[in-house]
Chain A
Amino acid sequence: MGAPDFAKLPHIGESVRRKEDLRFLTGVGQYTDDIVLPGMCHTVFVRSPHAHAVLRSIDKTAALAAPGVIAVFDGQDVAADKVNGLPCGWLITSTDGTPMKEPPHPILAQGKVRYVGDHVAMVVAETLQQAKDAAELVAVDYEVLDAVVHLADVRGGKAAALHEAAPDNHCYKWAIGDKAGVDAAFAQAAHITRLDLENNRLVPNAMEPRAAIGCYNRASEEFTLYVSNQNPHVERLLLTAFVMGLPEHKVRVIAPDVGGGFGSKIYLYAEDVCVTWAARKLNRSIKWAADRSEAFLSDAHGRDHLSHAELALDKDGKFLALRVHTDANMGAYLSTFASCIPTILYATLLAGQYTTPQVYCEVDAWFTNTAPVDAYRGAGRPEATYLLERIVTRAAWELGLPQDELRRRNFITQFPHQTPVALQYDSGDYPACLRQANELGDVAGFAARRAESEKKGLLRGMGYSSYIEACGLAPSNIAGALGARAGLFECGEVRVHPTGSVTVFTGSHSHGQGHETTFAQVVAARLGIPVENVDIVHGDTGRVPFGMGTYGSRSLSVGGSAIMRALDKIEAKAKKIAAHLLEASDTDIDFSNGEFSVRGTDKKIAFANVALTAYVPHNYPLDKLEPGLNETAFYDPTNFTFPSGTYICEVEVDRATGVVRVDRFTAVDDFGVIINPMIVEGQVHGGLAQGIGQALMELCVYDRESGQLVTGSFMDYAMPRADDFPEFRIGHVCTPCTTNPLGSKGCGEAGAIGSPPAVINAVLDALRPLGVKDLDMPASPRRVWEAIQSAPSVAKA
């Protein structure tokens, strides 16, 4: 079935209330730390207090003698058992043809520690308290080395080397685009806009801290790993094939209820391997649950770019070329997808919504003494959008044009559109999104609102952002050609039960996205049965055939499409059964509203009756057809999907205090076909909060001398709270995706991608009358106040 027919089915576009809510609202959801297993013991990690140091010695004697302690393991124990380091899933090749530097990433430090929080030892004890107490008794002798944490300090290549493999701390230099063509376009430009900016380092901070329980059964030689994770099959693949050398059929990974991910739970972490490895060594179930401080230290962080961008325009404001250089912080080791974030998922988006014929981007990636950096909601695309939408607004102001006018002049209007940076957009209506955002945000009334603000002594500004993202990761062959070391398809199994109810097994994982409802709507719509008759199972390699998991807004467009393919097979087989029962040819059978009918007659039979016949095949074409109604499909997308939209932010700035208040935020998105508008809007709201949080509040700070994490708790790292936001204004435009059967594009990351530049452009718009031209995120009261104080008009006064 194709997208146009699908979108007309019942339940599609209906805000069905979520099936998953009851367990969460009554406290019976089961997150990893809620699980208690017989004989379970606990582990605590000894973490490095230094950003960079040689491990001279580790004395475990006192810890081993402490009450309740079962074992203390360090890097030597891991090495003795030949447990490999953590792999990076994406190979980036440098411009000189050499592969990126991939230094070892041991699960427990070998000889050196490279960031505050690096894993030194694991202490296993009967109780958590005993493990914590004993961890204090592990005596580690460190020889402290110079540390480098900031891109500005590492990019000269002179800082103390973290890894032998990268003496200048340089991981790779990568580039995309036609440099000579871009340079030639710049030579012809009537106007060039330049911009230096920082994309601030963030801590994802899913509300459930990471946790893992490793279990082992000596009799069957089977492992079970419960883990707060977004993609259990990928976790298992990395754990078995790359790190521990275990047979996959002996390892079951269960990601039960997971309290948010936002990217930070995609990866295979050292703790996950440690509890699995130690479970067999000790023949015990071992639980590790991070406290929040530990999560700040050890979760993969996000963003952390320094960029310089130049935009060439002709005399009419048409973009001729974009030239970008970006330095990206990888942290101390390469996390699972770290290398592809500032490259494949970043620079390919730099054409944005615009016809810019030439784009060239060069990226240098660096190792620093900080936690590894990897995908965080949006992953590369927010960084691209922030850069592009900031420079476009700056160009508009330099040319004396309204922000929306310059965008409109450069919008792509013909599809498919091939960009100069590899992607081919299949569909979109960028002017429609802009138009609707202008209406919904009452841009016409802005001048009056600005005057009102002025009466209160406040500065008001309005900022635009027109974003595009590449979602639905990804065509496996393209990803492979770009360096991916795994496929990026998805798997779905549809199991029709004898009475016509359905269980779906999906490789996508839901940790807030509402798959249990949205996916059930898809199945219910196709089969013409009630949503209540469909249950979705996910997050368990022991139940789901296979899967690549949830990230990159791929669940519906890829995971849902796999289910659609399985439903195609179900429908085809059920038609044959119906044809037999109705004594007709299967080519004459129609299926709609849950009934099979013979075209041109009144003969029909209900879906449930066909299902029953499949399992009670007394009157059944057994010579031609197997009994049963259970189909599995693997869906590999043929292209990325391209959600897009225009966001408009209005802020009020108090010039006396520098406090910025978001007064109005309008988001108009094109996600293609929407299954459940309530859930989709919820995804937008959450993304906006994270994007506005990045723009105004959030900043992960390491001390540039000592390498200590300064923002290591919710007391120090500003998390957005309920009173930091207005009610959001949400609108939709729908141009169906042309490359998948649902017509769906993905909605999980849009809010976080599109909003930061809208906010900063708004703040700069408010401050423009004072002569403030630049401001880095987060636009905290202190930064805004300082910008106001040093503004030409204020400094002179």
Chain B
Amino acid sequence: MQVQLTVNSKAVTLDAPPNTLLVQALREHLHLTGTHVGCDTAQCGACTVLLDGRAIKSCNVLLGQVAGSSVQTIEGVAAADGTLHPMQAAFKECHGLQCGFCTTGMVMSAIDLCNRQPDASEAEIREQLEGNLCRCTGYHNIVRAVRQGATAMKA
């Protein structure tokens, strides 16, 4: 099955079996291994990417479903010269990551959240991050990072 889509602003054509998940296409075909697989029930959010600007769990979408769409992964978030996206910078500044495994999905969710709700309260951030599990940080510094990232994204 041939599928054409845009990944991190580049047009790509993939030839993959019809049961290929988007996350498999990203990791195994495009070697974009920053998108992680932390569960098999669409609960953990480690595989979160942006699909046409909205955060989705790429383990829960077939490659065939995203034909013609635009996908952004963590590898496409920083500027071409390496300058971090304000949300990435906020995670570093606020120590919003430890082992790093959930981090990429967490950052993608946070970017989408702040695009939609630039003035989200702490309670709203906590509620909206429900789909992303982290076992290291207790979420404390992630929430701080998202608030700081939101402010920086508005600037």
Q: How far is the CB of B147 from chain A (nearest CB, A)?
A: 11
- A728-B136 Cα distance, complex, nearest whole Å: 14
A678 at the interface (CB under 8 A from B): yes
Count B-side interface residues using an 8 Å CB cutoff.
55
- A257-B36 Cα distance, complex, nearest whole Å: 13
B100–A512 contact, CB under 8 A?
yes
B95–A18 contact, CB under 8 A?
yes
Render B74-109 as a binary contact track against A, CB cut-off 8 A, 1 for contact. 110110000010001001110101111111100100
B142–A291 contact, CB under 8 A?
no
B43–A22 contact, CB under 8 A?
no
A259–B140 contact, CB under 8 A?
no
A723–B36 contact, CB under 8 A?
no
A31 at the interface (CB under 8 A from B): yes
Across the two chains, which residue of chain B brings its CB closest to A728?
B140
A602 at the interface (CB under 8 A from B): no
Given the known inter-chain contacts A206-B99, A208-B101, please indicate yes or no for A690 contacting B92, CB distance below 8 A.
no
Contacts of B133 in A (CB 8 A): 207, 714, 719, 721
- A209-B37 Cα distance, complex, nearest whole Å: 8
Question: Which of B46, B77, B138 is within 8 Å of A207, CB to CB?
Answer: B46
B104–A27 contact, CB under 8 A?
yes
Contacts of A129 in B (CB 8 A): 17
Q: How far is the CB of B146 from chain A (nearest CB, A)?
A: 9
Contacts of A721 in B (CB 8 A): 129-130, 133, 139
Q: How far is the CB of A322 from chain B (nearest CB, A)?
A: 31
B66 at the interface (CB under 8 A from A): no
A569 at the interface (CB under 8 A from B): no
Across the two chains, which residue of chain B brings its CB closest to A289?
B37
A158 at the interface (CB under 8 A from B): no
B138–A725 contact, CB under 8 A?
yes
Contacts of A34 in B (CB 8 A): 27, 33
A11 at the interface (CB under 8 A from B): no
Question: Which of A28, A209, A678 is within 8 Å of B95, CB to CB?
Answer: A678
Q: How far is the CB of B85 from chain A (nearest CB, A)?
A: 9
Q: How far is the CB of A519 from chain B (nearest CB, A)?
A: 15
Given the known inter-chain contacts A207-B46, A511-B99, A686-B98, please indicate yes or no for A27 contacting B139, CB distance below 8 A.
no
- A720-B33 Cα distance, complex, nearest whole Å: 26
A21–B92 contact, CB under 8 A?
yes
B140–A715 contact, CB under 8 A?
no
A713–B73 contact, CB under 8 A?
no
Q: How far is the CB of A551 from chain B (nearest CB, A)?
A: 15
B44 at the interface (CB under 8 A from A): yes
A22–B92 contact, CB under 8 A?
yes
- A642-B95 Cα distance, complex, nearest whole Å: 26
- A31-B101 Cα distance, complex, nearest whole Å: 8
A722–B139 contact, CB under 8 A?
yes
Contacts of B39 in A (CB 8 A): 291-292, 713-714
A420 at the interface (CB under 8 A from B): no
A33 at the interface (CB under 8 A from B): yes
B126 at the interface (CB under 8 A from A): yes
Contacts of A260 in B (CB 8 A): 98-99, 101, 135-136
Render B13-46 as a binary contact track against A, CB cut-off 8 A, 1 for contact. 0000100000000010001111111111101101
Count A-side interface residues using an 8 Å CB cutoff.
58
B125 at the interface (CB under 8 A from A): yes
Residue from B27, B41, B75, B98 with most neighbouring chain A CB atoms (10 Å)? B98
Render B113-147 as a binary contact track against A, CB cut-off 8 A, 1 for contact. 00000000011011101101111111111110000
Contacts of B75 in A (CB 8 A): 26-28
Given the known inter-chain contacts A25-B84, A207-B135, A727-B140, please indicate yes or no for A30 contacting B102, CB distance below 8 A.
no
- A208-B135 Cα distance, complex, nearest whole Å: 10
Contacts of B92 in A (CB 8 A): 17-18, 21-22, 25
Render A346-381 as a binary contact track against B, CB cut-off 8 A, 1 for contact. 000000000000000000000000000000000000
A27–B73 contact, CB under 8 A?
yes
Q: How far is the CB of B25 from chain A (nearest CB, A)?
A: 14
A20–B100 contact, CB under 8 A?
yes
A514 at the interface (CB under 8 A from B): yes
- A18-B103 Cα distance, complex, nearest whole Å: 14
Contacts of B142 in A (CB 8 A): 722
- A679-B100 Cα distance, complex, nearest whole Å: 14
Across the two chains, which residue of chain A brings its CB closest to B142?
A722
A29 at the interface (CB under 8 A from B): yes
A262 at the interface (CB under 8 A from B): yes
B129–A207 contact, CB under 8 A?
no
Given the known inter-chain contacts A27-B104, A512-B100, A714-B39, please indicate yes or no for A722 contacting B135, CB distance below 8 A.
no
Q: How far is the CB of B112 from chain A (nearest CB, A)?
A: 15
A690–B40 contact, CB under 8 A?
no
Question: Which of A23, A514, A690, A714 is within 8 Å of B44, CB to CB?
Answer: A714
B135–A690 contact, CB under 8 A?
yes
Q: How far is the CB of B106 from chain A (nearest CB, A)?
A: 10
Given the known inter-chain contacts A26-B78, A34-B33, please indicate yes or no for A292 contacting B97, CB distance below 8 A.
no
Contacts of A465 in B (CB 8 A): none
Across the two chains, which residue of chain A brings its CB closest to B91?
A25
Residue from A514, A679, A722 with most neighbouring chain B CB atoms (10 Å)? A722
A722–B129 contact, CB under 8 A?
yes
Across the two chains, which residue of chain B brings its CB closest to A33?
B37
- A208-B14 Cα distance, complex, nearest whole Å: 27
B38–A689 contact, CB under 8 A?
no
Contacts of B88 in A (CB 8 A): 25-26
Contacts of B135 in A (CB 8 A): 205-207, 260, 262, 686, 689-690, 719
Question: Which of B35, B43, B126 is within 8 Å of A722, CB to CB?
Answer: B126
Q: How far is the CB of A317 from chain B (nearest CB, A)?
A: 34
- A293-B107 Cα distance, complex, nearest whole Å: 25
B97–A24 contact, CB under 8 A?
yes
B141–A685 contact, CB under 8 A?
yes
User: Which residues of A, 1-44, contact B by the 8 Å Cβ criterion?
Assistant: 15, 17-18, 20-31, 33-34, 36
A238 at the interface (CB under 8 A from B): no
Contacts of A18 in B (CB 8 A): 92, 95
A713–B95 contact, CB under 8 A?
no
Contacts of A33 in B (CB 8 A): 33, 37
A483 at the interface (CB under 8 A from B): no
User: Which residues of A, 700-751, contact B by the 8 Å Cβ criterion?
Assistant: 713-715, 719-723, 725, 727-728, 751
- A727-B143 Cα distance, complex, nearest whole Å: 9
5 shortest interchain CB distances as A-B pairs: A27-B34, A24-B100, A259-B101, A512-B99, A689-B138
**14 pairs of residues in contact across A and B, judged by CB atoms under 8 Å:** A25-B91, A26-B84, A29-B34, A31-B36, A33-B37, A34-B33, A207-B38, A207-B134, A257-B99, A259-B38, A291-B39, A685-B141, A714-B39, A727-B143
Tell me the B residues contacting A by CB distance below 8 Å.
Answer: 17, 27, 31-41, 43-44, 46, 73-75, 77-78, 84, 88, 91-93, 95, 97-104, 107, 122-123, 125-127, 129-130, 132-143
Q: A26-B74, A260-B136 are in contact. List 11 more A-B contacts (CB 8 A).
A: A27-B35, A36-B31, A206-B135, A257-B99, A259-B99, A685-B138, A719-B135, A721-B130, A721-B133, A722-B143, A727-B143
